[in-house]
Amino acid sequence: MASVKVRGLNKRFGQTHVLRGVSVDVPDGSFAVLVGPSGCGKSTLLRLLAGLEEADEGSIALGDRDVTHLEPRDRDIAMVFQSYALYPHLTVRENLAFGLKLRKTPPAEIEARVKEASEMLGLGPLLDRYPRALSGGQRQRVAMGRAIVRRAQLFLFDEPLSNLDAALRAQVRVDIRKLHDRLGATSVYVTHDQVEAMTLADEIFVLNKGVVEQSGPPLEVFARPRTQFVASFLGSPAMNFLDARMEDRGGRWVAAHGDLAVEIDAAEFPGALAPGRRVTVGVRPHEVEVAPGQEGASFQVAIVEALGAESYAHGTVAGAPFVARLEPAAPVAKGDTVKVALRQVHLFDAESGVSLRAA
């Protein structure tokens, strides 16, 4: 297996500047997830890694090999797509063996590798079936098997779970991570699904409009988002954002808007300390304390969503949409106006969306 080192990749399609100076480091054996909204350039980046597109500028190294100008077949990379791209007229066994046959691998070696991969993926009983006789999850496992038999340096996954239903998605997600660990593989995995990103990744790369806005271990990025975009993209339900202005209330700094008054720790957010400065207060739904009848900002509750294990109240605070997680027995119902306190806030510059937290 090998590390990946991407430096300053730029890619344009005509007038569309899809990747704008992307650099990514994936250590040997690591699971990297590229996450971002549809159209931000994730698949393009993966296709550049695989050699299916050529970069306008920048370089790609696999281990200590510069592969920037190599053909796909010379890169030693295996890719698993969203559409499984299985050959319909070939059995599972033949699908698994196909790439190896093309490479003129000796038949005994092919048989051994197909056996090993099918055992790993539980495909043994399905080897003589055709793809049409397989479920979506089984097809996806065959697609992964084709990557495994290649013994590639690097595995690339492009939204491999999006054609599966929710229950199966959770299951195959776990399988992919187990497989990665077992193979000692280096993997780059693309998804627009932040739950997949958070659960699979050793390191996530949040892509926005062709730029990596932030990278790091998932929980670190979740806890300390550097931009409002990153903050809004990770977490479900999403972080709440409230417009406010900074006020100096006799030495206490407060982000205020109507009856919203959030005390700001001067040491934590030194960049925010200017009277009248426009800021965006961010708070995740689970960091909101709903305290009926006490101090705090008014929360007009429009609906309460009970999901079984937890409940969420949806409504507005200071005119902005707002969601709060409720304690199981919280006496909050639709139509209520309750007071909320914000426990753990984030603070962003209202213009640029950049976090005002001290580095």
Sites of contact with ligand ADP (CB under 6 A): 13, 16, 18, 36, 38-44
Beta bridge partners, 323, equal 314
Burial of 276 (0-12, 13-18, 19+ CB in 10 A): exposed
The sign one gets for the Cα dihedral 328, 329, 334, 338 is: negative
Q: Minimum Å distance from CB 85 to ligand ADP?
A: 16
Q: Minimum Å distance from CB 14 to ligand ADP?
A: 7
Give 41 or 51: the residue with its C-beta nearer to ligand ADP.
41
C-alpha angle 209-214-217 in degrees, rounded to nearest 5: 135
Q: Which residue in 322, 337, 57, 75 sits closest to 186, CA to CA?
A: 75
Whether 23 and 67 have beta carbons less than 8 Å apart is answered as: no
Distance of CA 131 to CAs 8, 159, 163, Å?
40, 20, 15
**Binding partner of 44, given Mg ion, ligand ADP, none, CB within 5-8 angstroms per partner class:** ligand ADP
Q: Which x/- pattern, by CB under 5 A, does the window 106-145 give for Mg ion? A: ----------------------------------------
Give 42 or 141: the residue with its C-beta nearer to ligand ADP.
42
Compute the distance between CA of residue 278 and CA of residue 294 in angstroms, rounded to an integer.
Answer: 27
* Tokens encoding 42: 């994730």
Residue partners of 133: CB distance under 8 A and separation at least 6:
none
Q: Minimum Å distance from CB 38 to ligand ADP?
A: 4
Q: Minimum Å distance from CB 50 to Mg ion?
A: 13
Tell me the number of residues near Mg ion by CB under 5 A: 1
User: Which amino acid is present at 280?
Assistant: T
**Binding partner of 179, given ligand ADP, Mg ion, none, CB within 5-8 angstroms per partner class:** none
Compute the distance between CA of residue 93 and CA of residue 111 in angstroms, rounded to an integer.
Answer: 9
Q: Minimum Å distance from CB 40 to ligand ADP?
A: 4
**Binding partner of 16, given ligand ADP, Mg ion, none, CB within 5-8 angstroms per partner class:** ligand ADP
Give 16 or 337: the residue with its C-beta nearer to ligand ADP.
16
**Binding partner of 39, given ligand ADP, Mg ion, none, CB within 5-8 angstroms per partner class:** ligand ADP
Give 79 or 323: the residue with its C-beta nearer to Mg ion.
79
**Binding partner of 15, given Mg ion, ligand ADP, none, CB within 5-8 angstroms per partner class:** none
* Tokens encoding 177: 């991570």
Distance of CA 70 to CAs 12, 47, 60, 73, 301, Å?
19, 13, 10, 8, 58
Residue 178 neighbours by CB distance under 10 Å: 11
Site residues for Mg ion, window 35-94 (CB under 5 A)?
43
Beta bridge partners, 298, equal 339
The residue of the chain with the least Cβ separation from Mg ion equals 43
Q: Minimum Å distance from CB 84 to Mg ion?
A: 15
Whether 194 and 36 have beta carbons less than 8 Å apart is answered as: no
Give 42 or 113: the residue with its C-beta nearer to ligand ADP.
42
Q: Minimum Å distance from CB 42 to Mg ion?
A: 5
User: Which residues of this chain interact with Mg ion, rule CB under 5 A?
Assistant: 43
